[in-house]
Structure 1
Amino acid sequence: MAGLPTVPTHADGPWWQNAVFYQVYVRSFADSDGDGVGDLDGIRSRLGYLELLGVDALWLTPFYTSPMADHGYDVADPRDVDPVFGDLQKFDLLVAEAHERGIRVTIDLVPNHTSDQHPWFAEAVRAGPGSPERDRYWFRQGAYPPNNWTSIFGGPAWTQLPDGDWYLHLFAPEQPDLNWANPEVAADLERTLRFWLDRGVDGFRIDVAHGMAKPESLPDMDPSVIAQGSGILHDNAVDPRFDNEGVHEIHRMIRKVLDGYPDTMAVGEIWVKGDDRFARYVRPDELHLGFNFRLVGADFDADAVRTAIEGSLRAAGDSTPTWTLSNHDVVRHVTRYGDGELGVRRARAMTMVELALPGSVYLYNGEELGLATVELPEWALQDPIWKRSGHTQRGRDGSRIPVPWEGSEPPYGFSTTADTWLPMPLEWAPLTVEAQLEDEDSTLSLYRHGIEIRKTHPAFAGTEIEWYGAPAGCFAFRRKGGGLICALNTSPAPVPVPPGEVLLASLPLVDGQLPPDAAVWLV
């Protein structure tokens, strides 16, 4: 990490306090070798674009050795690179060149489960019932599953081996859950953390950060939860699969390791109900940041968005709030807000709201181009949710289409083959990076300008906001300490803007008024 330029911030504090992170879904970002799948060299070839966009740090989804039952979240070796993505030398080159450009690199960590092809699980299957090897996972004997738990991907959370033992998998059967009561599990994760930290990574995104610990008694879920489906926010009072007290000891262990590597951090994927439950994960000796998905769950409505913001700030407490609108697991926000031109207008407005807030921001690759979630043909679907749900839930593939870079037809510069791992839409030619880069009115230009202003203008100082009075269907807040004003109009009519000089608007003002489905920054 020597020689990494300091990421500018508006206040003294750690680099991630105001950072703009950019999530790279590695399979879908850039393909360097023509196999239709993105890879590490592909990312390296596009670092210039990421520098131009102005992001401070990357989050790379799993690139580890994996049979790809869940596209890399089923890890067979957490300390090596899968050949489809490259090798350790290519990873080292990517980190070094990103650092030369002042971009930090954070990587996914998957501590809740392994692949069923992991050496530990293969040993457990061979060793048989009651063996020490099986104690690394959740194995139980019996004629029936140990409880009524269901998988997030659909179907039961238990699979029976031919010898009669059942094993737990909160996700796909190819992803057996680790038993964190076994000290070997913690020791192995520490080894993984140090392996990548010693290679210069700047931090980790912790997958299923609310899920690792399980109650020893394995109590049943409330039947009402099963009837409602898995959902995304888990209430521990009726769903014992997640948010158990023991998970905090795991995060304290991770924090102790990171504290030995200056300027490194961890952010957790935390799907929990209740701001008080969330706050426990970002205590001073646990996670540095936590994904609070309130904005993802909020409708495009000023009152709903304000409620989400207030709840997120309350949950963060004295820690740094973290904002995001999309990722590889959810419907892209252009689609959530209505799709088409309406969805893009609203997505642009919400991006300005997000960038105006104090704290760190996570962007998802392609959102800066205004990409929507794509309705793929059934033959193209690969997500395990599609199979596990009996082809009743289409899964997440539509939000994972490769990024369009240039040209007028697929694969738009993503690869040299049109046979990309997921098909790319014929109508994406106007959305490529090339098509938007020099267009001052494009969504890409809005992101570039917004990020630049956020990083350089003194109005973005301070860690608190205060709300203005606003017309129905609108809100306005001011950054205390810097003075930035952000106004959002979700009503059907234009509204007067607060007094001040306009820094940026998601749509042009009309006779000094803010149009519907728009946001503006003023000082």
Structure 2
Amino acid sequence: MSEQVPGPGVPWWRDAVCYEVYVRSFADADGDGFGDLPGITDRLEHLADLGVDALWITPFYPSPQHDHGYDVADYRDVEPTYGDLAAFDALAAKAHGLGLKVIVDVVPNHTSWDHEWFRAALAGDEQARARYLFRPGRGDGSEPPNNWLSVFGGGAWEPVPGEPGTWYLHLFDRSQPDLDWTNPEVGDDLEHTLRFWLDRGADGFRVDVAHGLVKAEGLPDVEGDPMAYAGGTVPGGPMWDQDGVHEVYRRWRRVLDSYPGDRMAVGEAWAPTPERTARYVRPDELQQSFNFHFLTADFTATDFREVVELTLSTLEPVGADATWVLANHDVVRPPTRYGGGERGLARTRAATMVMLALPGSAYLYQGEELGLEQVEVAEEDKQDPEYLNGRGPGRDGCRVPIPWDGDSAPYAFGPGAGQPWLPQPEEYADLSVAAQRSDPDSTLAFYRSALRTRRGLLAEGWAQDRGIEFLDVGPDVLGFVRGEVSVLVNMSEDPIALPAMEVVLASEPVADELPPDAAVWLRPHA
């Protein structure tokens, strides 16, 4: 598969389709039940054949795995369960040989409590302690320093063992102490990490909790319900989206711009409004920020149009391109989110066609191309710290290892027998890559066709057509034009008549009518 070649002066990431690889659940080369870097390397042809432009790999650094790698103990090495630095080098080399860019995850908000800095801090090293947010408790010290709550449940403060009255901040699991980004040593070390992976061939970074690095001065109490901020329903507050975070990303942009090849960073930035989200992608900051407003939109013509219009209008003043995403390792899989079963899958295919037709880049999550639904993971098998800390059902259901081949677990996920680290359901036998590869009507065939068609349209003119024009086609039908291509999505309960145009791509078989929950790309007959 040849690499998509942007036009002169156009960075590769502007229209790229990026594929998220959840390292524990993609492919297992050594048969221990956990995915690893050599497993990814062995399966890279699948991504090249699918037609994506880049892969984003979730954290593979040394970690006690309390949060499956997002608790980093060493930012510049590889977790032995996943391989070693030579395995990363081999993966990057093969990916680049196949025309795929490599994006690695960086976790700057917090470390693991196994990180050497935090171990030294607990041992009384004042220089190390100043890199984190240690504070005295309220009153006699027995109460936390403020009323903040953890995203993963419970309070956001943990008492320091053996030091009554002293606490440390953890906005996530207690094994993930937050760093103090007002300490210049923290920024200096993170720059060292960026350069380490850029020097090894990384093409970009996905920035975890990009909106959380800087906290309000004095760490004041939140006003109103603290759970609203911890739960993400109010993404502002004194711990999120502080103005000071933008200076961090200006520094990172200078680092990225000092390397050849249009190196990039995409932020996981939850902000209260699209306008504040757009600030992360100003010309001297991050190149991209995930568009979570699109992911959370209901499957209605009104909601989709509002999100698209708002996204494009708020990015225009800062000169940034949009990203579009329907799934990741933290959210319920789209077919389940859109109602489940055949209808949920049909809606997902239609929404995917909207995403791929819009100007900007798109992010896929492993298993989307197979139409995987959320798995009901038994309580005794759940491992997500959100669930273990009492914050709902957890995210394990979208993290179950994907099926490659065979009639029973592990479905060629690895060479071993039996279930991998999260059990796979029986229905995976019909959804595996091998089972779908030879079926022209499969979800895998649809994604391959959609990505191939999109690439062709970019070459024909979509790369220059950065805007869209909405069509007035009824209250329950989404319609817009990009270049010479018209996009229609039937979100009503009844079929709608199609204009007499050439069908470029359809999510379901079409003739003169577009079925409910289906999408089509059309253009004038030659």
**TM-score over 0.5 for the alignment?**
yes
1:417 aligns with 2:417: yes
How far is the alpha carbon of 1:483 from its aligned partner? Answer: 1.6
Distance 2:346 2:18 in 1: 23
Letter in 2 for 1:468: L
Gaps of 5+ in 1: none
What's 1:437 paired with? 437
Deviations 1:223-250 (A, max 9, x none): 3342x473335442xx211000110011
Distance 1:11 1:364 in 2: 29
What's 1:29 paired with? 26
1:186 aligns with 2:183: no
Distance 2:377 2:425 in 1: 9
Deviations 1:41-60 (A, max 9, x none): 00000111111001100000
How far is the alpha carbon of 1:367 from its aligned partner? Answer: 0.5
Aligned pairs (5 A) from 1:36-435: 36-127=33-124, 131-142=126-137, 143=141, 144-161=143-160, 162-164=162-164, 165-226=166-227, 228=228, 230-236=230-236, 239-262=237-260, 263-317=262-316, 318-389=319-390, 393-415=392-414, 416-435=416-435
- 8 Å contact kept, 1:26–1:40: yes
- 8 Å contact kept, 2:354–2:487: yes
How far is the alpha carbon of 1:427 from its aligned partner? Answer: 1.4
Distance 2:314 2:196 in 1: 32
**Other structure's SS at 2:299 match:** coil
1:508 aligns with 2:509: yes
Distance 2:433 2:3 in 1: 28
Distance 1:373 1:383 in 2: 15
- 8 Å contact kept, 2:63–2:112: yes
What's 1:454 paired with? 454
Distance 1:274 1:229 in 2: 14
Distance 1:271 1:233 in 2: 10
- 8 Å contact kept, 1:234–1:271: no
Distance 1:11-1:449 versus aligned 2 partners, 3 A rule: farther
**Other structure's SS at 1:478 match:** strand
Deviations 1:166-217 (A, max 9, x none): 0000000000000000010001001000000000110000000001001121
How far is the alpha carbon of 1:441 from its aligned partner? Answer: 1.0
- 8 Å contact kept, 2:4–2:455: no
- 8 Å contact kept, 1:35–1:417: no
Letter in 1 for 2:134: F
Deviations 1:408-452 (A, max 9, x none): 111111022323000000111111111111211111111101101
Distance 2:329 2:278 in 1: 24
- 8 Å contact kept, 1:66–1:75: yes
How far is the alpha carbon of 1:6 from its aligned partner? Answer: 5.3
CA RMSD of aligned residues (A): 1.4
Distance 1:388 1:260 in 2: 42
- 8 Å contact kept, 2:3–2:98: no
Distance 1:75-1:444 versus aligned 2 partners, 3 A rule: same
**Other structure's SS at 1:361 match:** strand
Deviations 1:142-188 (A, max 9, x none): 21211000000110000001202100000000000000000100010
- 8 Å contact kept, 2:148–2:222: yes
- 8 Å contact kept, 1:107–1:204: yes
- 8 Å contact kept, 2:3–2:53: no
Deviations 1:270-310 (A, max 9, x none): 11121211111000000000101012111111111111111
The alignment's TM-score, normalised by the length of structure 1, stands at 0.95
**Other structure's SS at 1:362 match:** strand
- 8 Å contact kept, 2:61–2:76: yes
- 8 Å contact kept, 1:460–1:484: no
Letter in 1 for 2:52: V
How far is the alpha carbon of 1:11 from its aligned partner? Answer: 7.3
Letter in 2 for 1:460: W
Letter in 1 for 2:145: P
How far is the alpha carbon of 1:498 from its aligned partner? Answer: 3.8
- 8 Å contact kept, 1:10–1:460: no
**Other structure's SS at 2:123 match:** helix
Distance 2:29 2:67 in 1: 22
Distance 2:246 2:79 in 1: 30
**Other structure's SS at 1:136 match:** coil
Gaps of 5+ in 2: none
**Other structure's SS at 2:278 match:** helix
Letter in 1 for 2:368: E
